[in-house]
Amino acid sequence: MPTDIIMPQLGESIAEGTIVKWLVSPGGRVEKDQPLLEVETDKVALEVPSPAAGFLSEVLMSEGQTVPVGTVIARLESQASVGIINRVGGVVVKPVPQAGEGEEHHSPAVRQLAKEHGVDLSQVKGTGADGRVTKKDVLEFVVKARPAQPAARSITAPAPTAKASAPTAGEEIIPVTSMRKTIAERMVASRHTAAHVVTFFEADFSGLAATRQSHQLTYLPFVVNAVTRAMRDVPVLNSSWSDNGITIKRDIHIGVAVALEEGLLVPVIQNADKKGLQQLGKEVADLAERARTKRLNPEEVQGGTFTITNHGGTGSLFSTPIIHQPQIAILGVGAVQKRPVVINDAIAIRPMCYLSLSFDHRVIDGATADQFMSKVKGYIEQSDWEKFL
């Protein structure tokens, strides 16, 4: 008998997922552990493997649909034709009883968002699978219900969303992916939540050149090491804001932004302060490679306490990155370039790099941010790097 494939639980706080692409056509044969479909959540995009060999007898949810965790999305017919319950790579395959007709189902994320904005979900028209209410539906309802502000007060209001219209002969409409929508929502929310301020420092990377070359490392492990040491000196940078007070995090988990064609992911290096340069280098490379090939585990993009974005990889010198909530700061690393600098009243050529720190002015002031950046700069410019391998 056929078995039901349901939308897997892709992390503790994940309530729904978007089907990006079916990798096997209906009726097609699939081998055990062969990628079956691509799923995208607000935290990660990954390929979901098939838990068993067999035939994809029925596809119930089409590409582009966002469905709650536990929703039946397809059926697999095995050669043995027996019902199974299995877990492979986060996929659960099991018979699922159908919900009663007319029964309302709202994901925890939707209910929480509605509670925060005082929204009665019975008044919201759902655009998700089977008419379910999504987070986007709630946010649009809040915007429409918000009273219009006088023109004199509209300076700080968000820009109105452009109305949908058919493209002209010289235009093209590119569909917005679930990941792009999530990034947009989070970036706007961060700008409206944190009091963003940016400070810039310049660091001389010549002190780490010999160690970097002899051990074939990139610059990023050295920056991560310098940041974690600076956090021990200025621990408030490893914190978050709440109405109850500032929460200092004991563990240091560094998120490293990875650019993808369709957006941005921030995999996390757990307990980065306890790892040497070589281990940091291996983890950064591994996480970045698996982020680009959609093979990250959901827990690998959660729990970050501070983020580093290496925008210099594409040649950028300066950046003012947006804080990754609920963190209170993000470090931007520019391109390392040889430039003339004055050292002991003489001009010398050094590999220099501009570092930017976007920080939440609600939590720290400029003096604290600069104290932290001075520490980061000092640790980067040291020459005794071998002991940190």
* Rounded Cα gap, residues 211 and 197, in angstroms: 34
Which range is least confidently modeled, 234-248, 285-299, 328-342? 285-299
Q: Tell me the pLDDT band of 342, cut-offs 50, 70 and 90.
A: very high
Residues with Cβ within 8 Å of residue 316, at least 6 apart in sequence: 334, 335
pLDDT digits (tens, 9 = 90+) for 37-72: 888 776 677 788 877 778 888 888 888 788 888 888
Check residue 163 and give its pLDDT.
56
Q: Classify residue 51 by its DSSP letter.
A: S
Active-site residue identified among 117, 286, 361, 384: 361
Over 70: is that where the pLDDT of 346 sits? yes
Mean pLDDT value across residues 177-187: 79
Mean pLDDT value across residues 270-274: 95
Which range is least confidently modeled, 2-16, 122-136, 198-212, 213-227? 2-16
Mean pLDDT value across residues 3-13: 72
Domains of the chain: 3-93 (2.40.50.100), 182-388 (3.30.559.10)
Q: Tell me the pLDDT band of 112, cut-offs 50, 70 and 90.
A: low
Mean pLDDT value across residues 124-138: 75
The answer to whether the beta carbons of residues 318 and 334 sit under 8 Å apart is yes
Mean pLDDT value across residues 281-301: 89
Active-site residue identified among 42, 365, 370, 384: 365
Check residue 212 and give its pLDDT.
92
* Rounded Cα gap, residues 234 and 254, in angstroms: 15
Check residue 108 and give its pLDDT.
55
Known active-site residue 361: yes
Check residue 104 and give its pLDDT.
55
Over 50: is that where the pLDDT of 102 sits? no
* Rounded Cα gap, residues 59 and 62, in angstroms: 7
> Do the strands 245-248 and 254-256 form a parallel or antiparallel pair, or are they unpaired?
unpaired
Check residue 271 and give its pLDDT.
96
Return the sign of the alpha-carbon dihedral for residues 310, 311, 312, 313. Answer: positive
Residue 18 DSSP SS3: strand
Task: Report the percentage of the chain scoring pLDDT > 90.
Answer: 40
Check residue 240 and give its pLDDT.
94
Read off the pTM: 0.68
Mean pLDDT value across residues 83-104: 42
Compute CA 242 distance to the chain's CA centroid, rounded to the nearest angstrom. Answer: 21
Check residue 92 and give its pLDDT.
41
Which range is least confidently modeled, 9-13, 147-151, 229-233? 147-151
Over 50: is that where the pLDDT of 138 sits? yes
Q: What are phi and psi of 51, to 5 degrees?
A: -80, -10
Check residue 154 and give its pLDDT.
41
pLDDT digits (tens, 9 = 90+) for 196-224: 999 999 999 999 998 999 999 999 999 99
Q: What is the mean pLDDT of the chain?
A: 82
Q: Tell me the pLDDT band of 105, cut-offs 50, 70 and 90.
A: low
Burial degree of 304 (CB within 10 A; 0-12, 13-18, 19+):
buried
Over 80: is that where the pLDDT of 317 sits? yes
Over 60: is that where the pLDDT of 268 sits? yes
Which range is least confidently modeled, 22-26, 67-71, 231-235? 67-71
**Of the segments 14-18, 78-82, 383-387, which one has the largest average pLDDT value?**
383-387
Known active-site residue 215: no
Over 70: is that where the pLDDT of 140 sits? yes
